[in-house]
Amino acid sequence: MRTLVILGASGDLTGRLLLPGVGRLIASGRAPGITLVGAGNDDWNAQQWQGRLAESFADALAPGGASTKDGIKELKSVQKDSSYQQLDVTAKGALGKLLATVEGPVALYFALPPAISQKACEVLTKKDLPAGTRLVMEKPFGSSASSAHALNATLERLVPEDHIHRVDHFRGKSTVLNIMGLRFANRLLEPLWNGVHIEKVEIIFDEDLTLENRARYYDHAGAGRDMIQSHLLQVMAIMAMEPPATLGQEDVRSSIAAVLRCSTIGHPEKPDLAESTRRARYTKGSIGKRKVPDYVAEEGVDPANDTETLAEVEVYVNNWRWAGVPFVLRSGKALGRARKEAVVTYKPVPHLPAGFTGTDSPTRLHIGFGPDTLTLDLDVNGPGDLFTLDRVQLETALASDPLLPYGEVLEGVLTGDALLSVRGDTAEDCWRIVEPAFAAWKDGAVPMEEYTAGSAGPADWTTSND
C-alpha cells in the first residue's frame, strides 16, 4: 500500500487506538513509504490535525521499545506530510473526489459507525477506487446477520473478498499464533483437546474501566454486541478449530469458519436461553479510590435502552470434537479485577486412589491476553505430608509483538495479508449465533441482574467466583 486514508479521522477510535497503532508500526520500520491522509466530519484545520498526530504518535516517537532510529525519522516525515480534509463520506462523489488526489494503491480505513460505512460504500463506485485498493472495515460489522450480509454484498461489488479487511484487533498476530502454537506444536496437549477430556472452556474479558466517555456508542451496544458478538467468538473459534494445513490465510480462516458454522448458544438438545445466557448491570460502588455511580446515572445513558454492562453466554460447537462442551464467553465493565484470559478446565480423573487427602482440583490451563501468559494449574504431593494433594501453578510468558494490536492488524492490511482479518461469511455467522440471545434479552425472557461496581459480578455466577 502507498496511502492510508482514514475516514472518521477526527473521531475517538482514531485518536485512542488507530493512530497510536499506525505510529508504532511506522516507527518500528515495518511500514516504509506510507502517506497518511485523514478525513472527517469535523471542520479541522491543519494545526488541529497535526496536534492529534503529535499526541497519538508521542509514545512511538520516543526512543526505545520497538522504535528504530530510521523508523522514528520515517514517522516524523509521515506526520509532517500528512493532511486532513473535512468530508461527508455519504455524499455522492465526495469520497471518490478525495481518492482521485492520492497515490494508489490505497488502504481505505472506515473508522465509522456501521450504518455510515454502509452508506459511504453504497455511493462509491469501482471507478472511484485506485487500482489495488483495500477496504478496511471497523467492527461492529453490521448490526445484525441481515445487515452484515447487505454490507458484504456492497463491498464485494467494489473489490474482491481478499481485498476486504474486517478488523478485529483481538485477532492480533500474537493471540492467533500463541494459541495455535500451543495447541498444534505440543503432542501433550492436542490429543486431549476435545470433549472427551475437557469439561468447559471459558473466555473472559473483564474490565475495571467504566464508560470512559463512550456512552453514545456503548449504551446502544452493551457488553453482548461490544465484545461477545465479535472478539470473544473469534477467540473461541481459534481455540476450537481443527488443525489447519498451513498458517496461510485461506487455511486458517477456513478452519475458523468451520467452527462458527456449527456453533449455537445453548445446548442443542435443550436450548433454554434463560439457562444459557446471563446479563447484568452495575450499580454504584468503588473501583480502587474511584467512586462509580449507577450505570443508569452515567452521563449519556438512557435507562430505556435496558443496556447490560456484563454479559455471559454458553456457546456449543456442535461437532465431533466438542459435542456437549460449553464455551462460556463473558465480558463486562466496572469490575473489581481486570481479567483477560481463556481458561480450559479438564474433567476430573476417573479414579483417585484411596488414601490421598487434600483437595482434588481440576487441571486448568490459562492463556492470558495482554500480557500474553500461560499458566497450568496442577495437583501435586505435599509439601510436608506426601499423602496430601496441594495446588501448584506452572507459569511462563508467551511471545508478544511489540506492536499494539491495531499495528499488527494494519501491518496485514498494508502487506496484503488477510490472515488477521475476519472473512465475510464468519462475520455473518457471528451475528447468527448471538441474535437469539439478544432477542430473548429484549423480550425480558432473561432478567437483568445487578452487581456492585468494583465487585466480581453477580455472586451466583460461577465465573464471578473463579
Q: Is 69 annotated as a binding residue?
A: no
> Phi and psi dihedrals of 254, rounded to 5?
-70, -35
Query: For residue 135, which of 89, 166, 100 has the smallest C-alpha distance?
Result: 166
| Count of alpha carbons within 13 angstroms of residue 113, beta-carbon side | 10
Q: Is 267 annotated as a binding residue?
A: no
Question: Are the C-beta atoms of residues 75 and 26 closer than 8 Å to each other?
Answer: yes
Cα gap 105→197, rounded to integer Å: 49
Identify the DSSP state of 269: T
Q: Which residues lie closer than 8 Å to 384 by C-beta, 6 or more apart?
A: none
Q: Is 139 annotated as a binding residue?
A: yes
Query: For residue 453, which of 337, 298, 292, 339 has the smallest C-alpha distance?
Result: 292
As a whole number of angstroms, the longest Cα–Cα distance in the chain is 79
Cα gap 209→453, rounded to integer Å: 10
- From 149, 165, 220, 231, active-site residue: 231
Helix (H, G, I), strand (E, B) or coil at 343: strand
Cell of 251: 487455511
Cα gap 247→21, rounded to integer Å: 24
Query: For residue 418, which of 166, 205, 230 has the smallest C-alpha distance?
Result: 166
> Phi and psi dihedrals of 107, rounded to 5?
-100, 115
Helix (H, G, I), strand (E, B) or coil at 80: helix
Please identify which residue in the block is written with the cell numbers 481443527.
Answer: 242
Q: Which residues lie closer than 8 Å to 56 by C-beta, 6 or more apart?
A: 15, 19, 20, 22, 23
Which letter, b or e, does each residue of 297-309 get, where b requires 16 or more Cβ atoms within 10 Å of its Cβ? ebeebeeeeebbb
Q: Is 289 annotated as a binding residue?
A: no
Q: Is 169 annotated as a binding residue?
A: yes
Q: Which residues lie closer than 8 Å to 127 by C-beta, 6 or more apart?
A: 96
Q: Is 42 annotated as a binding residue?
A: no
Cα gap 15→84, rounded to integer Å: 14
Identify the DSSP state of 232: I
The yes-or-no answer on residue 149 being catalytic is: no
Question: Are the C-beta atoms of residues 427 and 15 closer than 8 Å to each other?
Answer: no
Annotated binding residues, as ranges? 88-89, 139, 169, 173, 207, 226, 333
Catalytic positions: 231
Annotated binding residues for substrate, as ranges? 169, 173, 207, 226, 333
